[in-house]
Amino acid sequence: MNLLIERNAKDMSATAARLVARQVLTQPRSVLALPTGDTPRGMYDVLVGLEQGGLLDLSGVCAFNLDEYLGLPEDDPRSFRSYMLKHLWERLAAPPAHRYIPMSNPADEQAECTAYDEAMRRAGGVELMVLGIGPNGHIGFNEPGTPWALGTHFVALAEVTRRKEAARFGGLANVPRWGISMGIRTIMRSGQIVLLASGEGKAEVLARALLGPVTTEVPASVLQLHPRLTVVVDRPAAGALTTP
């Protein structure tokens, strides 16, 4: 595991963007997997800046999102589809021609999961995956207890995951109860993984994920077994990784 501890969230974002940019500059047709959430927003800002500066061309990339809420209209401003449009795709002069996000309202949920796995297989598999970490150690929407072997699947969101989003949805009762997510199997098969974490609130769960036992109870702990894992964090998030 490569651990990069940056001074602050801005530097974490710049480092993460550099890892993505390096991958795309070396292989313009890379297959990427991308997260949503507050943590990667700065990384997307830097990627947009690199494109605007003429340094980076993402148009040849094939991009898959990790997850989506189930049951929201696709154009709902809180859907991950809307997030990606707002924070990345609509800001690029030449966005990737091939972009995939699990459907939030599929007619047949199982068929959507199978189609998503098939699309990744046809693309040749994910070469670089960027991940955030949830308050309970989830990656994508793989909540504690998710078996390692699952591909794309639908998932009952954990209470803590829903509570974190309550303000955005105007109360816990309005937060979707279900999500659709790439599985741990897909995550572990990607060629390279970049795990991001920012802020003191992530310190304890990050330490459990990186230093604790590998267990389905802390889904991110499985990343300890990935041969090419780079963890990029700011100092507050690294707070529990070092001894005083």
For residues 139 and 187, the answer to whether their CB atoms sit within 8 Å is yes
Task: Please work out the total of residues on this chain that contact ligand GLP, with binding judged by CB under 6 A.
Answer: 12
Q: Which stretch binds ligand GLP (CB under 6 A): 10-18, 36-44, 143-151, 187-195?
A: 36-44
Distance from C-alpha of 208 to C-alpha of 219, rounded to nearest angstrom: 10
Residue 179 CB, nearest approach to ligand GLP (Å)? 7
The verdict on whether 143 is a catalytic residue reads: yes
The verdict on whether 11 is a catalytic residue reads: no
Distance from C-alpha of 115 to C-alpha of 25, rounded to nearest angstrom: 29
Q: CA separation (Å) from 228 to 190, 191, 221?
A: 9, 7, 14
Q: Of residues 2, 25, 27, 38, which one binds ligand GLP by CB under 6 A?
A: 38
Q: Give the number of C-alpha atoms closer than 13 A to the C-alpha of residue 32, restricted to the C-beta side.
A: 27
Name the DSSP letter for residue 67: E
Tell me: does residue 64 bind ligand GLP (CB under 6 A). no
- Cα 176 from chain centroid (whole Å): 18
Closer to ligand GLP at the Cβ: 132 or 151? 132
The residue number whose beta carbon is nearest to ligand GLP equals 132
Q: Of residues 37, 183, 219, 239, which one binds ligand GLP by CB under 6 A?
A: 37
Tell me: does residue 186 bind ligand GLP (CB under 6 A). no
Q: Of residues 161, 186, 221, 230, which one binds ligand GLP by CB under 6 A?
A: 161
CA-based R_g, the chain, Å = 17
Q: Give the number of C-alpha atoms closer than 13 A to the C-alpha of residue 179, restricted to the C-beta side.
A: 24
Residues forming contacts to ligand GLP in the complex (CB under 6 A) are 35-39, 66-67, 132, 134, 140-141, 161
Q: So which residues are the catalytic ones?
A: 67, 136, 138, 143
